[in-house]
Amino acid sequence: MRQSMIDMVHQIQDEICEALRSIDGVEYRQDEWTREEGGGGRSRVFSGGEVFEKAGVNVSVVHGTLSPQAAQSMGGGHELQGKDLDFFATGISLVLHPHNPMAPTVHANYRYFERGEGKKDGSWWFGGGADLTPSYLFEDDAQHFHDVHKKACDLHAVADYSAFKKWCDEYFHIKHRGERRGLGGIFFDDLNGASKTECFEFVRDCARSFLPSYLPVLERRKDLPFTEQQKQWQQLRRGRYVEFNLVYDRGTKFGLTTNGRIESILMSLPLTSRWEYCHEVAEGSEEDLLLDVLREPRDWIIE
């Protein structure tokens, strides 16, 4: 399973980067890095292109011994499973930040984790998901993104779109703002309720769903006209993105507590963002409409 997951995340990284290169017209910067405690990764970042202000697609394959702090940052009660802190982890993580404020930021992450040899009950699991973070609300974009991921979930008995959608809304909650980071998607962790093969096949199908879930949305929005005021609003929304990733995100905390590569861990942050003191939006404005669904998540699947 370790090798199957390693092969899959590298293949998905290649496919996504090839698609982004053809869209953006620039080459990515690639950095292959190693971790003193064991393993390493391959980071690819696009910048300076016509479509993306910053886009990163990272793969990591790491192993070693967890500190109690790192084990606790994983959540899910795994820090309570005895003293076996040897681990193996691999996954793909990507964040794309377009220039155009009408085109949404998107994030996806899929990973596999083992404690010890991964043979005991509860000693292995999969996790991940994908979520959409627009600056302006286009309902058909949200519906398409969710529909693609629901179809991937519906193919597998181990998956539950409704539960994963709710989990996503709850996980990406910026508690100190009382709003979600975006319009959600799916999120799951501690996935081990079927065989390793069944769980892997679900995660693989989710990873393969990324491009068909996002590229049609990007094509519709990347060339739309926009104003300077709309660009400023995008910068404020990116500030919220930064707040979530640095304050709440478990993946960021885990990377920092396991001596991960800092540039790769913080790749998810936008190139630019903005904070204005006591910023307010006009009632009924396009910005206000977005805030409404960030405060009260909506179901996007049309039956």
Q: Known catalytic residues?
A: 107
What 3-state class would DSSP assign to 262?
helix
By C-alpha distance, which of 43, 31, 53, 301 is closest to 184?
Answer: 301
Question: What DSSP designation does 248 have?
Answer: T
Q: Is the dihedral of CA 15, 268, 188, 4 positive or negative?
A: positive
Distance CA 41, CA 27 (A): 19
- Looking at residue 210, its amino acid is F
* HSE-CB of 287 using CA atoms within 13 angstroms: 15
Q: Is the distance from CB of 59 to CB of 42 less than 8 angstroms?
A: yes
**Spatial separation of the C-alpha atoms in residues 8 and 285, rounded to whole Å:** 43
